[in-house]
Amino acid sequence: MKKIPLATILLAASWGVHAQTLDSTMAAVPAVSDSTGAANGGWTGSGEFGFASARGNSRTENANAKLGLAQENEYWKNSFYLNGLRSKGDVSIVDSNGATIDKFGTTANRYDSGASVGYKFDPRSYVVGAARYEHDDFGANIWQGIISVGYGYIALKNDRTELSFEIGPGYKEYQPTKSEVDTNGDGIADTTIRPDRKNEVVARGLINAKYRLTDNTSIEDTFLTEAGSQNKYYQNDLGFSVSMTKKLALKLAYQVRYNSDTQPGTQSTDTLYTTNLVYNF
């Protein structure tokens, strides 16, 4: 929980930088408007939202929202994001009397935020400081936060393709989720285990790839790793976007998240499919 203020500080520091004109040899990928970014010190952004509801033989509701801001100019490569996910559905619970009850309850509740500030040595190389915080009521960890520093390199960037890498050390804290265990051997969970908060030094790596297939379609893949001696965390986000106008697009996305350190009854891997409406600004 202590990592949220740092992400905010990093974002504020990025906004305070004096606006610079985009370098023509490092123009932003055309998925967003170059002219808009140049007019705002290199800042561009996008917002996403998706919602689905079902009634009848089953009841489900789920919503997800994303906000992303990015700045790239001659000297700086900065970013900020905020994501949220919430779902409800029919679930079965056991009450205090041991009876099974069906109810309409929350099945997913997650939000995460992150920021990075990168200062360029030249058009390709930069030093980067990053922070990330995640809260998940139904994940392997109730919350996890990391701060890191590292080196970034833009291997390829043109009107159609972008490929960049980041690597460096970081410090991470996380709270493993509580678990219910059967200590009497009667098949009924009767004891709650509440693990202690954990912390460790990790190696952080990030790979970001973008490719514009046609004038109105693009694909993007981002891979993040935070590997330590106690827990290894991997996350991959794959997205396919189809632009309807310069501002609006439809996006299909698939996310995989993996934690190696889990409690009994908790799975290591979480996946998420989304279909969202995107607004670019």
C-beta separation of 154 from 123 below 8 A: yes
Q: How far is 209 from 103, CA to CA, in rounded Å?
A: 43
pLDDT in tens, 233-247: 999 999 999 999 999
Query: The domain that contains 248 carries what CATH number?
Result: 2.40.160.40
pLDDT single digits (tens) 166-225:
999 999 999 998 876 656 665 555 567 788 899 999 999 999 999 999 999 999 999 999
How many structural domains is the chain composed of? 1
Structure confidence at residue 101 (pLDDT): 74
Which one-letter amino acid corresponds to residue 144?
A: Q
Q: Which residues of the chain have pLDDT under 70?
A: 1-39, 93-99, 180-191
Task: Write the CA distances from 254 to 14, 92, 173, 239, integer angstroms.
Answer: 29, 28, 26, 6
Segments forming the whole domain that contains residue 147: 4-280
